[in-house]
Amino acid sequence: MTRLSKICYVLVRTLSVFGLPGLRTFRGRVYRWHFAAPRMSVSDRVMVVAAHKSPTASISFSEGVELGADSYIDYSGGVRVGAHVAISEGAKIFTHNHVVRFGYSNWHRNPIQFSPLEIEDEAWVGAGVIVLPRVKRIGRGAIVGAGAVLSEDVPDYAVYAGNPAREVYKRDVSGSKP
């Protein structure tokens, strides 16, 4: 990330004028440049930020990633997003948590735990999904259904839904129809 790409990224991320039809293309180019993400598609009001400084704060996108409107990705704990991943409208991904089980009653004084996340190729995180920091991996071709609250890893080709999210079924991706 260059300083210029960071400045451009912050501007297109925060200024609503870049949601206008003529400037959306520019916004997409800035996201692709800043994150070195070929063929990334970015909708309105997308936030990709490190909510807390940490030595693990990093993010990488492979090609063909789609980020839906109002999606939020916290990469404080480190995030790797595979190729052709869709993160739908309003999805929230968190990679840090505040320790509250022990310590001070004022949770601001307690330490922060960081957690890395890998979203494998061709996964789909549905609209309004919340991915909690304890999730380390969303598998290849996995789908997390709209509105789910994900608190555990998702195996390859599994479909998870609900609150808390649980496996509904495994996808058959053999190419044959029933």
- Identify the domain containing residue 28 by its residue range: 1-36
Same domain for 49 and 81, yes or no, is yes
* Cα–Cα distance measured from residue 169 to residue 161, given in angstroms and rounded to the nearest whole number: 10
177 part of a folded domain: no
Assigned token pair, 164: 């808390």
175 part of a folded domain: no
Same domain for 43 and 81, yes or no, is yes
* Cα–Cα distance measured from residue 116 to residue 55, given in angstroms and rounded to the nearest whole number: 11
Assigned token pair, 26: 């520019």
Say whether the peptide bond before residue 55 is cis (omega within 30 degrees of 0).
no
178 part of a folded domain: no
Q: Render each residue's pLDDT in the chain as its tens digit; 178 residues.
A: 578 888 888 888 888 888 888 888 888 889 999 998 888 988 888 999 999 989 989 999 999 999 999 999 999 999 999 999 999 999 999 999 998 888 888 888 889 999 999 999 999 999 999 999 999 999 999 999 999 999 999 999 999 999 999 999 999 988 777 6
Can you give the pLDDT at residue 20?
A: 85
Count of domains observed in the chain: 2
Same domain for 117 and 76, yes or no, is yes
Can you give the pLDDT at residue 178?
A: 67
Same domain for 88 and 149, yes or no, is yes
Task: Give the helix ranges, DSSP H, for the chain.
Answer: 3-14, 21-35
Same domain for 18 and 103, yes or no, is no
Number of neighbouring beta carbons within 10 Å of residue 43: 18
Are the C-beta atoms of 150 and 137 separated by less than 8 Å? no
Q: What is the CATH number of the domain that holds 117?
A: 2.160.10.10
Same domain for 71 and 155, yes or no, is yes
Same domain for 25 and 90, yes or no, is no
Same domain for 79 and 133, yes or no, is yes
* Cα–Cα distance measured from residue 32 to residue 129, given in angstroms and rounded to the nearest whole number: 24
pLDDT digits (tens, 9 = 90+) for 140-178: 999 999 999 999 999 999 999 999 999 999 999 887 776
Assigned token pair, 96: 């840090």
Q: Specify the amino acid at residue 165.
A: A
62 part of a folded domain: yes
Can you give the pLDDT at residue 13?
A: 85
